[in-house]
Amino acid sequence: MTGVEDMITLLNRELGLFLRPEDAGAPLEALPGWDSLLLFRLVAVLEEEAGRPLPVAEVVTAGTLAEIHALAVGL
């Protein structure tokens, strides 16, 4: 996974979402069906993809998918 578009494709496939690249900058709570359970499922998918744990405390305070992507790729 390199770009945020790759992450969105991964999340759509693994979590059954229908996100678009432009959703990366939207507030998480504005995304259809977004809730805390989905956030933790997202963390599990990204950790599997990255092959390492993510900083969960930072992920749960992230406001957008773009911010989560930055954490996932270590930016």
For domain 4-72, the CATH superfamily is ACP-like (1.10.1200.10)
Nearest CA-CA partner of 1 in 52, 59, 64, 57: 52
**Tell me, what's the pLDDT at 44?**
95
Q: Please state, in angstroms and rounded to a whole number, the distance separating the CA atoms of residues 46 and 73.
A: 9
pLDDT digits (tens, 9 = 90+) for 13-62: 999 999 999 999 999 999 988 999 999 999 999 999 989 999 999 999 99
How distant is the alpha carbon of residue 52 from its chain centre?
15
How distant is the alpha carbon of residue 64 from its chain centre?
8
Q: Which residues make beta-bridge pairs with 64?
A: 27
Q: Please state, in angstroms and rounded to a whole number, the distance separating the CA atoms of residues 64 and 38.
A: 13
Q: Is the pLDDT reported for residue 75 higher than 70?
A: no
